[in-house]
Amino acid sequence: MGYDTTTAAATAAARMALLEEFFLEQPINSRPGNSRRATATTPSAPVNLGTVDHIRRSVYDLEQHTRAAAPDAGPLPARPSAAYDWVMQHTEHAPETVQRRRDVLIYKQQLEHAIRLGETGVVRRHRCPGCGTVGLHWRAGSVRCRNRRCRTPDGLGSTWTLSQIATQYIADQEKRRRRAT
C-alpha cells in the first residue's frame, strides 16, 4: 500500500485528540484558589505538564513549518488536533521539499503521540536506518535496534531518534512510490 499523507495526518490528529482528552480529564489544577486542588484523586502534575508541553511543542513545530511555507496562513485552529488539517490545507501546493519535510514532521509526531499514549510498539514495524532490518524497539526514550551486529563505531548498540525513523520511513515510501509509477 502506498503512503498517504492525508491518512498520516488523520492518524496524527486522532492521536492528538486522545492526548487532548487525557489532558482535559486530568487538568492541571495547581493554580491558587482552584477548588479542584483539594480533590484527593488529583493525578500527579508532572504527567499533565509533560502532556501539555508535548501538545504545545507539537503545535508550535507544525505552525513554524507551515508559516515558513505559507506566510499568509491564517490563525491556527483552537484545537491542537485540528492543526493537522490546517497544515495540509496550507502546504497543499508547496514545493516538493516542503511537502517532504511536512510529511516527516507529521509522521514523527504521530509516532510521538502514540508513544506518549503508551503504544511504544509503533516503532517495531520500522526499518533500522543503520542496518535496514526490522526489529526496532523503544527503550529509555530512544529507538533501539535488536540486531547485535548493528553497532556504533564505539561498539554500542545503535539508537535512533523518532525524527530519524520518520525520515527513513518517508524516504522509503517515496522510493516505493517512484518505483510504482
| Per-residue buried b or exposed e for 30-59, using 16+ beta carbons within 10 Å of the residue's own CB | eeeeeeeeeeeeeeeeeebeebeebbeebb
What character string, x for contact with Zn ion (CB under 5 A) and - otherwise, covers 88-127?
----------------------------------------
Query: Among 87, 105, 128, 162, which residue sits at the site for Zn ion (rule: CB under 5 A)?
Result: 128
Q: How far is the CB of 136 from Zn ion (least distance, A)?
A: 8
Q: How far is the CB of 75 from Zn ion (least distance, A)?
A: 43
Q: How far is the CB of 165 from Zn ion (least distance, A)?
A: 11
Q: How far is the CB of 132 from Zn ion (least distance, A)?
A: 7
- Cβ-based nearer residue to Zn ion, 55 or 128: 128
In eight-state DSSP terms, residue 134 is B
Q: Would you count residue 145 as binding Zn ion (CB under 5 A)?
A: yes
Q: How many CA atoms lie within 13 A of 115 on its CB side?
A: 19
Q: How far is the CB of 125 from Zn ion (least distance, A)?
A: 14
Q: How many CA atoms lie within 13 A of 137 on its CB side?
A: 6
* Count of Cβ atoms closer than 10 Å to residue 93 Cβ: 9
- Cβ-based nearer residue to Zn ion, 88 or 128: 128
Q: Would you count residue 130 as binding Zn ion (CB under 5 A)?
A: yes
Q: Would you count residue 165 as binding Zn ion (CB under 5 A)?
A: no
In eight-state DSSP terms, residue 121 is G
Angle between helical axes of 83-91 and 45-69 (0-180°, round to 10)? 10
In eight-state DSSP terms, residue 139 is E
Size of the site for Zn ion (CB under 5 A): 6
Q: Point out which residues bind Zn ion (CB under 5 A).
A: 128, 130-131, 145, 147, 150
